[in-house]
Amino acid sequence: METIARDAAHVLFALGFPPLLLGVIGKTKAFFAGRVGPPVLQPYYDLIKLFQKGSVIGGTTTWVFRAGPAAGLATAALASLFIPLAGAAAPVSFAGDLVLFAYLLGLGRFFTALAALDTGSPFEGMGAAREVTFACLAEPAFFLGLLVLAKLTGSLSMGGMLGGSLAAHWSTAGASLALVLLSWFIVLLAENSRIPFDDPNTHLELTMIHEVMVLDHSGPAFGMILYGAAIKLFVFSALVARVAFSAGLGSAWLAWPVFVVGMLLIAVVVGVVESVMARLRLLHVPTLLVAACLLSAFGVVLLAR
């Protein structure tokens, strides 16, 4: 009974909280720009509005185009089940689930790219090519980071690697964990199409990466894409938060406040990064992703003593 209640809470939180992160990022950026900015809850209003709209579907598209948004949302929501949130264990956990976790996200990207290619628009093809190219480089950084956690905790499940035992390792393997943290933060920015990789607010179709792939979607389909993107941001933020604030997450009373504040803090940091720096030239994006891989790799090397 207790497990069911806990898992229900997990699912509710993972589905309800993500748009708030987008709202906090928007508010932070508005602050730096000297504006009031939209309300923190604006992403929720946007989603409600989109789900009430009709959709326009291009005559040249097939079922793949319609499957894209649904697959993107479903895979992100499923992936969120493998991450332990505050103090609680993850609802789904088994040895080796890290591979399933990574490739659920990969599957979502695969369908988004296919849906983009399905439209036949040269822009969307361009965006799909960019997205998968950069994903190839973000993936090793993520896996090398997992390798560090696996070695430290001796577990091969996401729940185990990010579980309570992580806190103890900050004192013994702090350098490795700090490198992984930095590397994963870069991966978070890349995977969620934030500056310096992509500009989620741009209207310039030739410079977009993720946004250009979803140009043809509208109404509820576009709502699903936005919602899926928010959940994906939530998943990556939770990963970073579990590593960064593992010490505070050990205590039963403090776990939830620390987790929620930690997540909001990550959103603020993303907003600050977006406010103080410009986008990279597309040519230089791989360089930064390779740097993220190297950070994680050094984390592994440090443990190999």
Partner 1 sequence: MNTSGLTLTRAGQAIPRGSIAALPFADFRRVVIDQAREGLAVAALFGDVPAGSERVDLYVVLADRESSRLGVGKTTLELDAFASLTPDCARVHLFEREIAEQYGVRPEGHPWLKPVRFHGSYRSGHDAWGRGPGEPIVVGVTDFFRVEGEEIHEVAVGPVHAGVIEPGHFRFQCHGEQVFHLEISLGYQHRGIERSLVGGPDKKTAHLMEVVAGDTSIGHATAYCRVVEALAGRQPPIRADALRAIALELERLANHTGDLGALAGDVGFLPTASYCGRLRGDFLNLTALICGSRFGRGMVRPGGVRFDVEPSRVEECSKRLKKALRDVTTAVDLLWNSSSVQARFEGTGTVSLEVATDLGLVGPAARACGLECDSRRDFPSGIYRFAQAPISSWNTGDVFARAYVRWLEIERSAAFIMDQLQSLPDGPIEAPAGALRPDHLAISLVEGWRGEICHVALTDHAGRFARYKIVDPSFHNWMGLAMALRDEQISDFPLCNKSFNLSYCGHDL
For partner 1, give the closer residue by CB, 12 or 277. 277
- At its nearest, how many Å lie between partner 1 and the CB of residue 298? 24
Q: Are 271 and 27 in contact (CB under 8 A)?
A: yes
Residue 284 binds partner 1, judged by CB under 8 A: yes
Of positions 46, 97, 216, 274, contacts partner 1 by CB under 8 A: 274
For partner 1, give the closer residue by CB, 264 or 282. 282
Please, is 183 exposed, middle or buried when counting C-beta atoms within 10 Å of its C-beta (0-12, 13-18, 19+)? buried
For partner 1, give the closer residue by CB, 67 or 215. 215
In angstroms, how far is the first alpha carbon of the chain from the final one? Answer: 45
For partner 1, give the closer residue by CB, 136 or 261. 136
Chain positions 114 to 143 lying near partner 1, rule: CB under 8 A, are 122-123, 125-126
- At its nearest, how many Å lie between partner 1 and the CB of residue 278? 4
**Cβ-count burial 26-51 (b if 16+ within 10 Å, e if not):** bbbbeeeeeeebeeeeebbebbeebe
Which residue, 172, 176, 189, is CA-closest to 145? Answer: 176
| Span from 68-76, 167-175, 251-259, 282-290 in contact with partner 1 (CB under 8 A) | 282-290
Count the alpha carbons within 13 Å of 35 in the hemisphere toward its beta carbon: 10
Chain positions 165 to 224 lying near partner 1, rule: CB under 8 A, are 195-196, 199, 201-207, 215
| Span from 60-68, 143-151, 152-160, 278-286 in contact with partner 1 (CB under 8 A) | 278-286
- At its nearest, how many Å lie between partner 1 and the CB of residue 186? 14
| Span from 86-94, 148-156, 176-184, 271-279 in contact with partner 1 (CB under 8 A) | 271-279
Binding site for partner 1 (CB under 8 A): 29, 32-35, 122-123, 125-126, 195-196, 199, 201-207, 215, 274-284
